């Protein structure tokens, strides 16, 4: 028996589900977990591609290989179709995402005893909020990924609309709700009105390319990269003049999806040249160490953990742990510092919510339910940016990591 599989292919986490007796049924793809990290690891010793938690474990264990996360952020860019040799094969990133989705498909079929030839996939309202060409290309890329993964057909639903379906029971007939979905790569919004017990009326959807990985990047640039030499003075080869170290390498090192591209001989050579002429040699030495020992993802995980720590009530002294650079080294990250560094991004999310309401010609005072989903929606700076703009709305927190796949699972019966 073939059927439709609901898939939330996320920047940070992915999930799959089907509808059973009118309710969403999430498929355990990794042990008993409802979600798994959207990550892959090409294990050079075992000569296999690991995914999910196994991929992250292999990286943190120091296994020899290449780790990749944030692949969804590459959709629509030229990097998606750049190929490279991995485990003896020439693969582009369409192939890599397709293999991740094919494994997800196989695990879902094994768990349910069904075959799935059709996918109902979530998608951001906008993959790219500025570049329309990239935005259109991203959907072309993702469609091809599903086809290469073995699906005959793929349909798409805006992720916040799926989340609205999953959270409709928190609204009474006539209520006006705004879904705020802060994912790893994008923030998406759907304004909807509850029509009856089960029906909803979608009034507007909007999206902006700001997500959890952008928060990580901003914190990394502000706190970590200066410790590796960002902003440092570099002496000229001749004379006493200096210039500031170029930002490009540091910006890429702070960006989840671009880290794997830095581990090249040319990049390491450029870092060593900066170290040779650096006024602060110790900082640049750390940069060389990170590149030579491929510690970029270790740093990114440390920043992400520090962000979570600074947003956790009761934690008095949140820090970014830099053990991979120097034993017991930490960088303080007080909550007020984190809030200040992320205020501009949070404001951009708030402005996107206002644009959603303007699209439907609805006053902010008319919204009486504000529903947060997505892992990064748990951040206080994000909640503050939204509640200040929607003063009459009662806050409801949906299932942070599974609201989208719940809605997709419910909608599979309609495909």
Query: Which candidate, 230, 197, 160, 226, places its Cα nearest to that of 406?
Result: 160
Q: How many CA atoms lie within 13 A of 273 on its CB side?
A: 11
pLDDT score of 103 more than 90: yes
pLDDT, tens only, 358-385: 999 999 999 999 999 998 888 999 999 9
pLDDT, tens only, 220-251: 999 999 999 999 999 998 878 999 999 999 99
Q: For 27-173, where are the E strands, in sequence order? A: 36-37, 39-43, 48-51, 65-69, 83-86, 89-92, 115-123, 153-158
**Portion of the chain with pLDDT greater than 70, in percent:** 99
Q: Which superfamily does 2-161+405-414 belong to? A: ATPase, nucleotide binding domain (3.30.420.40)
Instruction: Give the separation between CA 32 and CA 26, rounded to whole angstroms.
Output: 10
Instruction: Give the separation between CA 46 and CA 149, rounded to whole angstroms.
Output: 23
Contact 70, 256 (CB under 8 A): yes
pTM of the model: 0.93
Q: Where are the alpha helices (DSSP H) in 360-415?
A: 380-387, 403-411
Each domain of the chain, given as residue ranges in start order, spans 2-161+405-414, 173-211+345-398, 213-339
Ramachandran angles phi, psi of 2, nearest 5°: -95, 160
Query: Angle CA(101)–CA(180)–CA(12) in degrees, nearest 5?
Result: 30
The structure tokens 């750049």 sit at 82
pLDDT score of 328 more than 80: yes
Mode of pairing for the β-strands spanning 89-92 and 83-86: antiparallel
Instruction: Give the separation between CA 28 and CA 25, rounded to whole angstroms.
Output: 10
H or E segment to which residue 103 belongs: helix 93-112
pLDDT, tens only, 268-294: 999 999 999 999 999 999 999 999 999
pLDDT score, position 90: 96
Query: Which candidate, 411, 389, 351, 400, places its Cα nearest to that of 162?
Result: 411
Contact 406, 34 (CB under 8 A): no
Domains 2-161+405-414 and 173-211+345-398 share a fold: yes
pLDDT score of 186 more than 70: yes
The structure tokens 């001989």 sit at 265
Q: Which residues contact 265 (CB under 8 A, 6 or more apart)?
A: none
Q: Which residues pair with 86 in a beta bridge?
A: 89
pLDDT score, position 197: 67
Sheet (strand 394-397) strand order:
200-208, 187-194, 176-182, 369-373, 394-397
Query: Which candidate, 222, 213, 232, places its Cα nearest to that of 331?
Result: 222
Look at domain 173-211+345-398 and name its CATH class.
alpha beta
Instruction: Give the separation between CA 281 and CA 190, rounded to whole angstroms.
Output: 50
Query: Which candidate, 157, 171, 142, 176, places its Cα nearest to that of 356?
Result: 176
């Amino acid at each position: 028996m073939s059927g439709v599989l609901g898939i939330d292919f996320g920047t940070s986490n992915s999930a799959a589900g089907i509808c059973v007796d009118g309710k969403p049924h999430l498929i355990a793809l990794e042990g008993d977990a409802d979600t798994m990290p959207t990550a892959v690891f090409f294990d050079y010793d075992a000569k296999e591609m690991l995914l999910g938690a196994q991929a992250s474990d292999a990286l943190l264990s120091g296994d020899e290989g290449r780790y990749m996360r944030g692949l969804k952020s590459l959709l629509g860019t030229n990097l998606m179709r750049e190929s490279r040799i991995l485990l003896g094969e020439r693969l582009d990133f369409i192939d890599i995402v397709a293999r991740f989705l094919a494994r997800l498909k196989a695990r879902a079929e094994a768990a349910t005893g069904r075959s799935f030839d059709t996918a109902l996939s979530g998608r951001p309202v906008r993959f790219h909020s500025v570049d329309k060409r990239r935005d259109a290309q991203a959907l072309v890329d993702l469609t091809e990924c599903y086809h290469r993964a073995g699906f005959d057909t793929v349909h798409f639903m805006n992720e916040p609309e799926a989340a609205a379906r999953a959270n409709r029971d928190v609204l009474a007939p006539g209520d006006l709700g705004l879904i705020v979905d802060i994912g790893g790569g994008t923030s998406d919004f759907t304004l909807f009105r509850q029509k009856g017990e089960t029906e909803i009326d979608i009034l507007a959807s909007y999206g902006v390319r700001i997500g959890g990985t952008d928060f990580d990047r901003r914190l990394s640039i502000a706190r970590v990269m200066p410790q590796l030499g960002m902003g440092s003075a570099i002496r000229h080869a001749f004379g006493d003049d200096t210039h500031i170290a170029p930002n490009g390498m540091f910006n890429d090192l702070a960006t989840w999806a671009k880290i794997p591209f830095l581990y090249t001989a040319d990049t390491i050579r450029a870092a060593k040249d900066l170290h040779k002429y650096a006024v602060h040699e110790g900082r640049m030495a750390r940069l060389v160490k990170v590149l030579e020992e491929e510690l970029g993802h270790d740093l990114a995980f440390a920043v992400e953990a520090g962000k979570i720590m600074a947003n956790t009530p009761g934690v008095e002294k949140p820090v970014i742990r830099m053990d991979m650079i120097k034993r017991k080294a930490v960088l303080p990250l007080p909550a007020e510092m984190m809030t200040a560094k992320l205020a501009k991004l949070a404001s951009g999310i708030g402005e996107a919510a206002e644009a959603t309401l303007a699209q439907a010609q609805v006053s902010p005072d008319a919204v009486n339910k504000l529903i947060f989903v997505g892992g990064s929606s748990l951040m206080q700076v994000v909640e503050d940016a939204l509640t200040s703009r929607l003063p009459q709305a009662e806050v409801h927190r949906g299932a942070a990591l599974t609201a989208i796949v719940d809605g997709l699972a419910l909608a599979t019966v309609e495909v």
